[in-house]
């Protein structure tokens, strides 16, 4: 009998469209060998799980209530193995403030930052930034992904840009790091590899990530010395282990002045046609079906 796989995609996050795409690509492949059901994590989720009785849940969700540990508690309560990271690692990795604190504690370089709270309006914000970080800076939500609501700001436009994020209680203001953009995939205990992105746009924003027309260049293998290549892979591996991640993760870096700055670690990396983990895997001889079957086999719950 074929194993039953429940693939969850869509959801309520701002990365809903990306997740639907991830779910679709994963379902298309897994259908070749498994009994697959592609579903939304809606109010009928418990009913869906009880009726379908999946052997494994493939979590193809991104962003809030998918990647942040909340939905993982539901999978835990059913005691059904699910893919990718567990409750705690998902929560920590999704929270850029918390994960950056952990990186810094463990001597992993990450851009200098501070948390800006909309409750405590800072009158001298510009002066403060000039003193602490210098312009340009990057403003970003603490719990989003796919570059949603990420902006590079100059002194002249920061107040206007910040006001666009006022629906978030808190945001991060980070020092802008120039240089190259490199991302690394970790697959369990395997340091899978790295890829460089050269966006034609101002930075690797939502369009640069998901629109073919934006023509972001993907460079693999990455042009780094062997020493630096090993170093960036090791940092991603250490971050994966430190946060307690499982399955496949993707860590986003900036490389500037011969230093790697870790921006974040993603516990539910995209699996769309333009996604980077499948591309890195392919370059290292692992095709898409092999990759997602490995993710399936790695699925578990907290026993
Ligand atoms: N401090 C920074 N300096 C330079 N570019 C940044 C910085 N932070 C973010 N970016 C740009 O924004 C993109 C998205 O930021 P990231 O922190 O990875 O958040 P997300 O979870 O939305 O992917 C990065 O891939 C990079 O291109
Ligand atoms: Mg990112």
pLDDT tens across 230-286, in order? 999 999 999 999 999 999 999 999 999 999 999 999 999 999 988 999 999 999 999
Question: Which atom of ligand 1 lies closest to the CA of 175?
Answer: 1
Please state, in angstroms and rounded to a whole number, the distance separating the CA atoms of residues 293 and 275. Answer: 17
Q: Specify the CATH class of 113-175 in words.
A: alpha beta
Q: Indicate which residue's Cα is closest to atom 21 of ligand 1.
A: 145
Q: Specify the CATH class of 92-109+178-297 in words.
A: alpha beta
Asked which of 2-6, 130-134, 184-188, 270-274 is least confident by mean pLDDT, the reply is 270-274
Judged against a pLDDT cut of 90, whether residue 177 lies above it is answered with: yes
pLDDT tens across 82-97, in order? 999 999 999 999 999 9
Query: How much distance in Å is there from the Cα of 190 to the middle of ligand 2?
Result: 21
Judged against a pLDDT cut of 90, whether residue 120 lies above it is answered with: no
For residue 35, count CB atoms less than 10 angstroms from its CB and return exposed for 0-12, middle for 13-18, buried for 19 or more: middle
Asked whether 146 lines ligand 1 (CB < 6 A), one says yes
Contacts of 51 (CB under 8 A, 6+ apart): none
User: Dihedrals φ, ψ of 282, to 5°?
Assistant: -60, -45
Q: Where in the chain is the domain with CATH 3.40.50.20?
A: 4-83
Reported confidence tier of residue 123, pLDDT bands at 50, 70, 90: confident
Reported confidence tier of residue 30, pLDDT bands at 50, 70, 90: very high
Q: Where in the chain is the domain with CATH 3.30.1490.20?
A: 113-175
- With pLDDT > 70 as the criterion, what percentage of the chain qualifies? 99
Asked whether 141 lines ligand 1 (CB < 6 A), one says no
**Residue 102 tokens, joined:** 């952990």
Residues near ligand 2 ion, CB 5 Å cutoff: 252
What is the length of the chain?
303
Q: Indicate which residue's Cα is closest to atom 15 of ligand 1.
A: 147
Q: Indicate which residue's Cα is closest to atom 2 of ligand 1.
A: 176
CA angle 202, 91, 232 (to 5 degrees): 50
Residues with catalytic roles = 15, 146, 210, 250, 252, 264, 266, 270
What was the pLDDT predicted at 295? 98
Specify the 3-state DSSP secondary structure of 265.
strand
Per-residue pLDDT, averaged over 11-36, amounts to 97
Q: What's the Cα-to-Cα distance from 251 to each of 27, 128, 185, rounded to whole Å? A: 25, 29, 7
For residue 70, count CB atoms less than 10 angstroms from its CB and return exposed for 0-12, middle for 13-18, buried for 19 or more: middle
pTM over 0.85, yes/no? yes
What was the pLDDT predicted at 75? 98
Per-chain mean pLDDT for the chain:
96
Asked whether 177 lines ligand 1 (CB < 6 A), one says yes
pLDDT tens across 52-83, in order? 999 999 999 999 999 999 999 999 999 999 99
Q: Where in the chain is the domain with CATH 3.30.470.20?
A: 92-109+178-297
Specify the 3-state DSSP secondary structure of 257.
coil
Nearest-CA neighbor of 230 among 267, 262, 194? 194
Per-residue pLDDT, averaged over 146-157, amounts to 96
Question: Which atom of ligand 1 lies closest to the CA of 113?
Answer: 1
Judged against a pLDDT cut of 90, whether residue 142 lies above it is answered with: yes
What was the pLDDT predicted at 122? 66
For 4-83, CATH gives 3.40.50.20
Asked whether 269 lines ligand 1 (CB < 6 A), one says no
Per-residue pLDDT, averaged over 182-193, amounts to 98
Asked whether 264 lines ligand 1 (CB < 6 A), one says yes
The two beta strands, 35-39 and 113-117, are: unpaired
Other Cβ atoms closer than 10 A to 124: 9
Helices assigned H by DSSP within 31-168 = 45-52, 70-78, 87-94, 96-105, 125-132, 158-163
């Amino acid at each position: 009998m074929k194993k039953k796989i429940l693939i969850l995609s869509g959801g309520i996050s701002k990365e809903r469209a990306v997740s639907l795409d991830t779910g679709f690509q994963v379902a298309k492949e897994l259908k070749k060998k498994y009994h697959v059901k592609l579903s939304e994590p809606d109010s009928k989720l418990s009913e869906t799980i009880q009726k379908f009785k999946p052997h494994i849940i493939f979590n193809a969700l991104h962003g809030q209530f998918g990647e942040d540990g909340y939905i993982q508690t539901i999978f835990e309560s059913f005691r059904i193995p699910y893919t990718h990271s567990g409750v705690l690692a998902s929560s920590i990795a999704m929270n850029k403030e918390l994960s950056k604190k952990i990186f810094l504690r463990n001597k992993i370089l990450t851009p200098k930052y501070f948390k800006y709270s909309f409750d405590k309006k800072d009158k001298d914000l510009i002066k403060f930034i000039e003193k602490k970080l210098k312009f340009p800076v990057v403003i970003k939500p603490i719990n989003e992904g796919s570059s949603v609501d990420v902006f590079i700001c100059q002194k002249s436009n920061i107040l206007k840009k910040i006001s666009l994020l006022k629906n978030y209680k808190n945001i991060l203001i980070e020092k802008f790091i120039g240089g190259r953009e490199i991302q690394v995939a970790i697959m369990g205990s395997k340091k899978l590899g790295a890829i460089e992105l050269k966006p034609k746009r101002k930075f690797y924003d939502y369009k640069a990530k998901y629109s073919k027309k934006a023509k972001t260049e993907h460079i693999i293998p990455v042009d780094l010395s062997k020493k630096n290549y090993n170093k960036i892979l090791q940092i991603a591996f250490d971050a994966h282990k430190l946060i307690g991640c499982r399955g496949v993760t993707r860590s986003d870096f900036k490389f500037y002045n011969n230093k790697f700055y870790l921006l974040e670690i993603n516990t539910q990396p995209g699996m769309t046609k333009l996604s980077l983990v499948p591309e890195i895997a392919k370059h290292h001889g692992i095709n898409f079906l092999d990759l997602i079957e490995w993710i399936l086999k790695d699925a578990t719950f907290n026993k």
